[in-house]
Chains A and B, each alone.
Chain A
């Protein structure tokens, strides 16, 4: 076992009971921050194809702007012929699209990474799947007369930094990603109008890409020749191109913006540390990959051989499926680990790749529980 693996297992062994309680939760969001809201979905909710909106995680940089129903998104800059200002009601002229997609914070799992790194110390709960309804960004850019030489689309929300000295949250996505038919400007989530915490009135939907691209309170869309600049492009949301030793810093020549989230699976139940009645047991959870559909999910029970779990739900890149694995348990302590493989061949690793900001944690999820 390498040093990273040893440290991860050591930390887990030392604190598994408390961490289990912290990360499992019940029927309410778990607060990693009350102001601004940094709220996690309890693991127990990951036994559904659609995460209920009231249990859907909330990540904030600066907290929301005012809820203004007619807030406009401005499509402007030098790479459109016809700048537009569009409120929700103005989007009716475009074809409406509904799709199902996983939204995951880039830092989900940061609290599990060793050596530890600063940031919101998410357990497993900064992820969820919802149905999103809106219009294609591509159609809106077409209506604005997009200059075909644009190479990126720069984006900003209406949320302002708390002080002028705090960098604004500005991002960009490459033009190909902006023109992908799954990239939406959304106004509904799980069939209901977006709530303020989730970006009302308009947010960007970028299936398969980490949540930092899913701009809430979308206010500015500006095609450009270059990517956006600033802290959140040049310092934040970057990962090493090739792995670096744990505890070391990124270097300019070995750093790139994170985009697609890697293959991952999570066990919703049994909960870690849970006591359950004897008899038929079922391990249930979700599996997803930003790059491709899920090909298989396997369970390792009590350190035995990996066995396939059954999958439910529609497969697809950037969306999750449920997995189920049933067995008859003897009384006593049981352990399970889960790993997913996507259709592109990526296999969820035993240990996540360490990086200085704790992005894209996707190690095997393990639970231990007692059967009476």
Chain B
């Protein structure tokens, strides 16, 4: 299982995340895995089933925002937890493929409710080591 490169930064009410990637697809998959890591310990999730989502956006921020919305919906509407994530980008179109399984309360501890991913203060930027993103989730 790939380690997900992210950290939590100080935010008074909600959770502000910062994730990194060597390239844009890597950054986006780090962001998706950060989101699922906030929900549950990914080591307890089996990668038995595959789910995909596709979004389009004019800017990297827009692409990331729509991608994270779809990722969160996998859990909030379909009770699906991801263990791994892969992202491909072709022009404006971003495709997310995750491997995981349906939430099982006997094996998965989901003790935080994430209401939504917000566009507030969302940043995608180049950094000396590749790419960096910051985004706020409402909890």
Q: Do A and B bind each other?
A: no
- Write the residues of chain A forming the contact surface with B, with a CB cutoff of 8 angstroms: none
- Write the residues of chain B forming the contact surface with A, with a CB cutoff of 8 angstroms: none
